[in-house]
Amino acid sequence: MFRVLPDAEGLAREAAREFAASAAESVRDRGLFCVALSGGSTPRLLHERLAGDWAREIAWERVRFYFGDERCVPPDHERSNYRMARETLFDPLAISATRIFRMRGEEEPRRAALDYEAELRTHVPAEGVIPRLDLVLLGLGSDGHTASLFPETQALVEKRRLAAANFVAKFSEWRLTLTYPCLRAARRILFLVTGAEKSDAAAAILGRRGGDSLPAGRVKPRSGSVLWLLDRAAAAKLPVDGSTADGRR
């Protein structure tokens, strides 16, 4: 399912509503809300909305924060997803460090991935043998990647690990990322997609044939739901029968 919003601001408002609804349901049903955050400019707008309009509407003391991926840089680096989340969400809401579980991009990548899997298994409630995140926020690259699951990279074929160190040749760098086994166990996946440069990838995934050839198209929870929120530029090449919304708050 997808919804088309007028612009990035409207998408952030709609995403904030979805975040709040997921948090309320999780806290009501399980007493805890485990969410994995994404990096990039669109989540920044979402964070600002959550820390503003929704600051008093969400039981933040019941939220545990995780990350879908991270660059292999220190936490104070300008490219760090954690740093962006800290500046736009954690600090404004005074979130306790005990409820933030960051990927340690400053450490040796393979060790950092193993440590993050251990964090997930220790702190995220499981159904069966797999920890089950309540909500995972994801983006979409123009090449069809999501999190740091890039085309033609080794992490795409990981069948067992929940987190992986993934070498991305196009950038000549390592990334840390959640894997398909972890993503497919989530209760809800929320994609946030803005910009005309994403329109081809979005159409390939959400069009009538589906886009399993692209990494983002393979994120299909076994018993959860997936919702795509796109602005008009990103949705320009999609079929016209998708649902639309004009997020207001």
Binned at pLDDT 50, 70 and 90, residue 212 comes out as: confident
End-to-end CA distance of the chain: 22
Is residue 130 within 8 A of residue 182, CB to CB? The reply is yes
What does the pLDDT read at residue 240?
Answer: 62
Strand extents, DSSP E, 139-248: 163-168, 173-178, 188-193, 225-231, 243-244
Pairwise CA distance, residues 139 & 232, whole Å: 16
Q: Cα 131–47–22 angle (5° rounding)?
A: 45
- Mean pLDDT, range 159-181, rounded to an integer: 97
Is residue 135 within 8 A of residue 187, CB to CB? The reply is yes
pLDDT tens profile 23-61: 999 999 999 999 999 988 889 999 999 999 999 999 999
Q: Do you know the residue count of the chain?
A: 249
Residue 78: how many CB atoms within 10 A of its CB? 7
Question: Which two tokens mark 212?
Answer: 């399993």
Q: Is the pLDDT of residue 249 over 50?
A: no
pLDDT tens profile 103-159: 999 999 999 999 999 999 999 999 888 999 999 999 999 999 999 999 999 999 999
What does the pLDDT read at residue 209?
Answer: 67
Share the mean pLDDT of the chain: 94
Nearest to 155 by CA among 125, 186, 182, 178: 178
Number of H helices, E strands in the chain: 7, 12
What does the pLDDT read at residue 113?
Answer: 98
Q: Is the pLDDT of residue 242 over 70?
A: no
Q: Is the pLDDT of residue 247 over 50?
A: no
Instruction: For tokens 């690259």, name the residue.
Output: 141
Domains and CATH numbers, the chain: 2-237 (3.40.50.1360)
What does the pLDDT read at residue 8?
Answer: 96
Binned at pLDDT 50, 70 and 90, residue 224 comes out as: very high
Pairwise CA distance, residues 164 & 178, whole Å: 6
What does the pLDDT read at residue 123?
Answer: 97
